[in-house]
Structure 1
Amino acid sequence: MRHVKAFLVKFTPSFALLAIILGGIYGITLGDVFVMSLVIGIITYAAGDLFLLPRSNNTTATLADFGLAFILIWAMTANMTPVDEVLMPSLIAAAGLAVFEYFYHKYLYKSVFSENETPRRMQGNLQYQTEASEEITPVKPDIRNDEGDK
């Protein structure tokens, strides 16, 4: 139930934002904006919010959501709508969604992920040490000692 609520919290502002940007500014129909919001919401919630966010940080997940949203908006706008120029609307809409996603990820950390779900990162001390010695690079005998002069 918490994932349904979290998806609705994601879908509603995303739909409103895309309706303003794509529908209001670029004239894409509300039905197309609804389908785009639904597809983008499902894919980015599954890939970015449930898979990537617990394993990385907010910035990484936000950048991934930006790239994924840009590709999806660009592909759907190019194939579903009669708009000729799709690059700039896709960039503006994906940037708007990325700003929203940054704050949405904070909401997910607080209210959706429980204590045992959040830290999926590698645990432990990963401080590796290396050892170097003179034997790593061979030295010509005439450089180090006088035996090379013979």
Structure 2
Amino acid sequence: MTSWADFLAAEPVFAETVQKRFQLYKHHVLATVRKDGSPRVTGLEVDFRFGELWLGMMPNSRKAQDLHRDPRFAVQANPGPDDSMGGGDVRIGGRAVEETDPEVMARFTEEAKPPEPFHLFRVELGEVVQTYVEDEELVVRTWRPGGTVREQRRR
């Protein structure tokens, strides 16, 4: 398992860039896998807390049901209200593991004050990607557990 804290320790500058990009807006886009294998895309909030990246959602929502059945997901940061894409396009993929520890749930509830009841999933990182344009080049920065940030540039 690779936590947000692991990523932050391995690649602090990139992790902070990604976290700041997600924290610009409250709502983001989550992709999950439906029962029939097709994708489901829906909105949600993400939370960075206790060295983890969390996905919270309403009880028994379709996205929660999807994650219970198949924990693979991708979440993309909200691009913003205009076409500037300030900070680039940022997305994270991995596995979502439901948190059931009553102490962790209580601590999260006390600090984050989410609407209750709710499902809370801890993210196990599989990939972090930032895409942006610089000097008329497309820049793609990618990090995967056990590696370093790779950067590719294309004209």
Q: Same fold by TM-score, threshold 0.5 exceeded? A: no
Return the structure number with greater helix share. Answer: 1
TM-score, normalization by structure 1: 0.28
Structure ID, larger Rg: 1
TM-score, normalization by structure 2: 0.28
Return the structure number with greater strand share. Answer: 2
